[in-house]
Amino acid sequence: MPNSANTSALGAFRRAIAQRQNVRNYGVWSFLLLSLGVTAWFTPGFLSWGTLDNTLIQAFPVLLVALGMTMVMSSGGIDISVGAIMAIAGAVSGRLYTSNAGLAPSVAGGILAGGLCGLFNGTLISKFKIQPIIVTLVVMIAGRGLAQTILGKPSVSFSFNSSLNVLGQYKIAGLPIQIVIMIAAVAMMLFVVKKTVFAKHVEAIGDNPRAARLVGINILRTTACVYVLCSILCAVAGIMKVALTGGVNAAGLGKFIELDAIAAVAIGGTSFSGGRARIFGTVIGAVIIPLVTVIAGMNDMRDHHAMIFKAVIVIGVLLVRRER
């Protein structure tokens, strides 16, 4: 009986709640649009295909790694070895390529090496129950050493018209190959997250590992797959970066990318304690970070000022999209 009397009041309240959510959702977008508008105003040449091209090309490795990281974090883990795995994959490909193995085998070899690293991570984490951050720290340190050992020297260069370098500059229907791979990877991950049993199992493990074990999810295999998937994406990122820059620098390739990737995933809204993987969010996060670098570079910002600028933008975005 108090039902009818209260419907309108409650309805109004519900609308208010919905609006508050809108503020949060659209807040991020308006914040971004506003900052882009301001940037465009004081950055000559900002609104152009070239800027987009720069941003996407520079976002490419971060995005690929962040996609893998999204799955890892959705399983409640973390992977700080992503940069080292990029280096290993790059080194293997580079080494194979310089010993005239041909383009396809070199690329395949690099991807295989990356996958093996992921297998190593996943096995240690799930079978030996060592904390993900420690396992991947080991791989981060030893892996980078391994990459340089594989390469045998600090850096290797390919001639400008070698097939590997041509691959890096290749365009498909006018689009740089990196952008095509990026679109494919995002589509694939969206499919995986939305449609597959695997992703649900990953989410379940991240949400409550104990319950996941008791419903019979194969934690060992699923965890291993998550890290392998992440590593393969890292490997592709690493190899493509080698192809783009026409050289391998095993000591520097992918260094510190783990921080950018984790930041991208966090900006995207995937929780650090596991749970739902948000691919779209990750994409936005992964593009924001290089975009800030591009803006800083285009405006000739000093390096240390760019650091502060980046920090302010990241904190700003997160303050707007915070969930309380």
Q: Determine the residue type at 297.
A: G
Q: Which of residues 70, 148, 231, 282 is near other proteins by CB under 8 A? A: 148
Q: Which of residues 31, 103, 245, 284 is near other proteins by CB under 8 A? A: 245
CB-nearer residue toward other proteins: 105 or 172: 172
Q: How far, in whole angstroms, is CA 235 from its chain's centroid?
A: 12
Half-sphere exposure in the Cβ direction for 304 (13 Å, CA): 0
What minimum distance in Å lies between the beta carbon of 27 and other proteins? 13
Q: Which of residues 101, 180, 259, 284 is near other proteins by CB under 8 A? A: 259
Distance CA 79, CA 82 (A): 6
Which residues ranging from 15 to 74 are in contact with other proteins (CB under 8 A)? 17-18, 43-45, 48, 50-51, 54, 57-58
Q: Determine the residue type at 115.
A: G
Q: Under a CB-based contact definition with an 8 Å cutoff, are residues 154 and 249 in contact?
A: yes
Q: Which helix (H) or strand (E) holds 29?
A: helix 2-42
Instruction: Name the residue with tokens 């500059």.
Output: 169
Which residues ranging from 163 to 202 are in contact with other proteins (CB under 8 A)? 169, 195-198, 200-201
CB-nearer residue toward other proteins: 18 or 104: 18
Asked whether position 251 contacts other proteins by CB under 8 A, the answer is: yes
Asked whether position 216 contacts other proteins by CB under 8 A, the answer is: yes
**Would you say the C-alpha torsion 6, 9, 15, 16 has a positive or negative sign?**
negative
Which residues ranging from 284 to 303 are in contact with other proteins (CB under 8 A)? 293-294, 296-300, 302-303
Q: Which of residues 62, 246, 279, 287 is near other proteins by CB under 8 A? A: 246
Q: Which of residues 28, 117, 182, 314 is near other proteins by CB under 8 A? A: 314
User: Terminus-to-terminus CA distance in the chain, angstroms?
Assistant: 34
Instruction: Name the residue with tokens 């045998």.
Output: 152
Asked whether position 149 contacts other proteins by CB under 8 A, the answer is: yes
What minimum distance in Å lies between the beta carbon of 112 and other proteins? 20
CB-nearer residue toward other proteins: 105 or 324: 324
Q: Under a CB-based contact definition with an 8 Å cutoff, are residues 295 and 119 in contact?
A: no
CB-nearer residue toward other proteins: 76 or 115: 76
Return the structure tokens found at 244: 């783009």
φ, ψ dihedrals at 47, nearest 5°: -80, 85
Least Cα distance to 113 among 238, 251, 249, 262 occurs for: 238
What minimum distance in Å lies between the beta carbon of 96 and other proteins? 19
CB-nearer residue toward other proteins: 107 or 201: 201
Task: Tell me the three state secondary structure of residue 306.
Answer: helix
CB-nearer residue toward other proteins: 105 or 320: 320
Distance CA 89, CA 232 (A): 9
Task: Tell me the three state secondary structure of residue 233.
Answer: helix
| Candidate ranges 34-42, 101-109, 134-142, 181-189; the one touching other proteins (CB under 8 A) | 134-142
- Which residues, including other chains, have CB under 8 Å from residue 252's CB and lie 6 or more apart? none
Q: Which of residues 79, 89, 239, 241 is near other proteins by CB under 8 A? A: 241
Q: Which of residues 29, 37, 213, 280 is near other proteins by CB under 8 A? A: 213
